[in-house]
Structure 1
Amino acid sequence: MTTLSAIRNARIVTSQEHFSGNLSFAADTIVSVAAGSSQVGEDWEGDYLIPGLVELHTDNLEKHLVPRPKVHWPVLPAILAHDAQIAAAGITTVLDALGVGDIDPESVRSTMLASCVDNLQRARANGLLRVDHFLHLRLELAEENLLDMFLPFLNDPALKLVSLMDHTPGQRQWTDLSHYRIYTTGKRGWSNEKVDSMLENMLERQVRYAVDNRRRIVESCNAIAKPMATHDDTTVAHVTEGVAEGIKICEFPTSMIAAQAARQHGLGTIMGAPNVVRGGSHSGNVSAAELARADLLDVLSSDYVPASLLHAAFMLQKEGFSLSKSVNTVSRNPARMIGFADRGEIAPRLRADFLRVRVVDEIPVILQVWKSGQRVI
């Protein structure tokens, strides 16, 4: 007989409202959610009960694989450290965003993709992971060997999203080359001389490979209905190109006009949570807060800071979002965007993924994390 567990005196946030009430769950499923008082269950003392977060794009694993420039960490320990950090951030379902191809031949993305996928499968099979991990493959379209690198993973059931990227300097995210130079000399550790030497090579690679790679990847993904996202759209033409290809997700648009075009064409828009917390884009592009105020923001992604996801969601209330609408951007909306109907909100018959959160000085602090009815933090 399945044991029924209960929580009382919690501020429960559903997809439509929030209220003081109680929740019960059995095994991995929510059984009931109700407003009002109860004498049954663990007393949460008025703390928030919100859905487990759903993350569609985080580069966090790469930081554990290369904790310093040119330092490569063993893959399985890096994955387990990443998993622990993701769980501590309240993320119960994550798409690990792994780059396929890169502008830098020394990059981890060029050498460790297969090992990352293999070790994620190994960790999953051995029950080593606290949360659910899936794949988001980020395809650098100017990569000469992109198809050979990507196609072996196309039919992997863990692959839930493919994004089409072109980080060639001078357009999209890097329209302003001064921002590009600051980024590459800082994060990648390149010298100014290396930046100069790489620019010509990157432009040549884009001309030779990007268009054909994009066409063949779109055809391959559409053939098996694999969800795709555009990346760093800047112009209306960027958005309409993706629409014509059957793409449904606009990831990190860099301008207001691109975000407006995405909404007009029915695309879901993802923006970075660090953008919200920091108050703007590190590349000098449109801010997530601006898009929120214009009601053009559907989903937040933690991108490079897992802990930013919940923090940014609560901050959206200052941009006119209700608490439920704010929480939906990091739970229900991303789950539905990639076809997960069993999680992402607090409701009966859905999976018992939820967080206990206390707000201290306007900062949401995660006290407990539950995934499939089991406490993992």
Structure 2
Amino acid sequence: MQRYYLHGARIVLPDTVLEDGALLIEAGRIAAISPDGGGDATPIDLHGHTLIPGLVDLHCDAIEKEVAPRARVLFPLDFAVAQIDRRNASAGITTPFHAISFADTDGGVRDIGTAKALVHALSAYRGRGLVDNRIHCRYEVTDTDAAGMLHVLLDEGLVGLLSIMDHSPGQGQFRTVDAYIDYICGNHALPRETAQAIAESKLAGRAGAIERITALVEHALAVGVRVASHDDDSVARVAAMHAMGARLTEFPIDAETAHAAKACGMATLFGAPNVLRGMSQSGAMRAIDAIVAGSASCLCSDYQPSTLAPAAFLAAERADLPLHEAVALVTRNPADACGLHDRGRIAVGMRADLVAVHLDRDGASRWPTITQTWCEGRLVFSATYPSGSASGSAFASLKMANSAAAPTTEPGVLTDRRSVATLNS
């Protein structure tokens, strides 16, 4: 496997930031930090860049839009899987957990037949893509048929994370029946009468939910799969889910709930789009407020992969966090929360999942730009920028590295998993 010597970067370590640092990558792992030269390793000059660990995204349902970009339009699943793999590589996400909903009553791509097929399509693609694609199965507690299907998927070893969600009207993010109906009408382009029938079906499906949830959580824990609760809206609900075995909570609704979850040792997950927009789309608490209060453990991209890296840098500014603590929200903390202790930090022996970020504070864009992504030591994404920019200068050395590491490719073409995606910007 190709050996790389990355030098000249500002490197974000677990507890500090190393200025003008270097890394040696061998056999897909970080072999040394600031070694005295790279020997015969391929040198890559990263001056003007910040080097962070590959991002770990515990919850993103962007794959749904790759499958169904419009209401009642479905693309081939293997095509959709390949496209979301590319999107994650370009966003610096080296370990995405694709959130797949098993919720027949929600409509659209979330019916359980499509969900099951999508799980199998993702599983078949593992090991052939650019990044380490994993599966996050979401169980809607009011769905009476999906539980049996999820038990089978757990036995097959296809589930990387299980979350328990309740989108029935009257609690969580849908405090009223009208709020739920408005969401269904807008998101799935359904008439109001159909949305009303879905709401009634959900309310009826709550019968027997506790028994189904309990059995699923016990099964998940027995096979070593972490469990998350979703949209917790009270201290009592956090306590109940924690007692059941959940160790993560996704998108707690308010500050009291988030604080209670953190106090009992649960990882708390908030959306990166919430950080960028400065608000929740459903009226829940602001993610930046949770970060300032110390009640946010992790950020996820939720529905937009490109937001994850910028949200970490924005959190460092707005919450006045040291950069290594802000970066941990999207790397080390989510990796630890799901039990992946071989990644999420730049340290000797860790997977060489790395992301080079260009910060053009005085230029045309104030947002961090991902310029290169490595997944287990493979350069899986690089972007060509106009010559003369910091990104363009760094790419000159990358082109030499590419010629040694992979077959020549035309701009904009992804070849096999050993090659590089070179995308014109």
TM-score (norm 1): 0.94
Percent of aligned positions with the same letter in both sequences? 34
2:134 corresponds to 1:139: no
Distance in structure 2 (CA, Å) of the matches to 1:305 and 1:248: 24
Distance in structure 2 (CA, Å) of the matches to 1:111 and 1:4: 44
**CA deviation string 1:275-299 (max 9, x = no partner):** 1111010100111111011011111
Equivalent position of 2:406 in the other structure: none
Query: Mind listing any 5+ residue stretches in structure 2 that lack a counterpart?
Result: 382-425
Counterpart contact for 2:137–2:161, Cα < 8 Å:
yes
Query: Mind listing any 5+ residue stretches in structure 1 that lack a counterpart?
Result: none
Match of 1:364 among 359, 362, 368: 368
**CA deviation string 1:79-121 (max 9, x = no partner):** 0011111111100111111111232355443221232122223
Q: Which moved more, 1:9-18 or 1:113-122?
A: 113-122
2:152 corresponds to 1:148: no
Distance in structure 2 (CA, Å) of the matches to 1:316 and 1:182: 31
2:120 corresponds to 1:118: yes
Q: Which moved more, 1:97-106 or 1:290-299?
A: 97-106
Q: Flag the 1:178–1:363 CA change in 2: closer, same or farther, 3 A.
A: farther
Equivalent position of 1:9 in the other structure: 8
2:250 corresponds to 1:251: yes
| Secondary structure of residue in 1 paired with 2:205 | helix
Counterpart contact for 1:184–1:195, Cα < 8 Å:
yes
Distance in structure 2 (CA, Å) of the matches to 1:105 and 1:3: 46
For 1:1-377, what aligned pairs fall within 5 Å after superposition?
A: 4-20=3-19, 21-34=21-34, 41-104=43-106, 107-124=109-126, 127=128, 129-206=129-206, 208-317=207-316, 318-361=318-361, 362-377=366-381
Counterpart AA for 2:117:
S
**How far apart are residue 22 of structure 1 and its match?**
1.1
Q: Flag the 1:372–1:106 CA change in 2: closer, same or farther, 3 A.
A: closer
Q: Flag the 1:335–1:149 CA change in 2: closer, same or farther, 3 A.
A: same
**CA deviation string 1:130-158 (max 9, x = no partner):** 00011110000100112222111013334
Q: Flag the 1:77–1:297 CA change in 2: closer, same or farther, 3 A.
A: same
**How far apart are residue 35 of structure 1 and its match?**
8.9
Counterpart AA for 2:273:
P
Distance in structure 1 (CA, Å) of the matches to 2:91 and 2:184: 27
| Secondary structure of residue in 1 paired with 2:188 | coil
**How far apart are residue 36 of structure 1 and its match?**
9.8
| Secondary structure of residue in 2 paired with 1:304 | coil
Counterpart contact for 1:66–1:108, Cα < 8 Å:
no
Distance in structure 2 (CA, Å) of the matches to 1:3 and 1:372: 11
**How far apart are residue 322 of structure 1 and its match?**
1.3
Distance in structure 1 (CA, Å) of the matches to 2:109 and 2:3: 49
Counterpart AA for 2:187:
K
**How far apart are residue 267 of structure 1 and its match?**
0.7
Distance in structure 1 (CA, Å) of the matches to 2:25 and 2:371: 19
| Secondary structure of residue in 1 paired with 2:321 | coil
Distance in structure 2 (CA, Å) of the matches to 1:179 and 1:275: 19
Counterpart contact for 2:102–2:110, Cα < 8 Å:
no
Distance in structure 2 (CA, Å) of the matches to 1:35 and 1:280: 43
Distance in structure 2 (CA, Å) of the matches to 1:349 and 1:198: 51
CA RMSD of aligned residues (A): 2.0
Q: Which moved more, 1:162-171 or 1:148-157?
A: 148-157
Counterpart AA for 1:205:
G
Equivalent position of 2:412 in the other structure: none
**How far apart are residue 46 of structure 1 and its match?**
2.5
**CA deviation string 1:243-286 (max 9, x = no partner):** 11121111110111110110111111011111111101010011
| Secondary structure of residue in 2 paired with 1:172 | coil
Distance in structure 2 (CA, Å) of the matches to 1:301 and 1:156: 26
Distance in structure 1 (CA, Å) of the matches to 2:208 and 2:89: 38
Equivalent position of 2:388 in the other structure: none
Counterpart contact for 2:141–2:166, Cα < 8 Å:
yes
Q: Flag the 1:148–1:34 CA change in 2: closer, same or farther, 3 A.
A: same
Distance in structure 2 (CA, Å) of the matches to 1:328 and 1:178: 38
Distance in structure 1 (CA, Å) of the matches to 2:230 and 2:350: 31
Distance in structure 2 (CA, Å) of the matches to 1:42 and 1:222: 43
**CA deviation string 1:195-239 (max 9, x = no partner):** 333322221112x23222112212222333421011100101110
**How far apart are residue 178 of structure 1 and its match?**
5.0
Distance in structure 1 (CA, Å) of the matches to 2:37 and 2:368: 24
Distance in structure 2 (CA, Å) of the matches to 1:3 and 1:23: 14
Counterpart AA for 1:104:
D
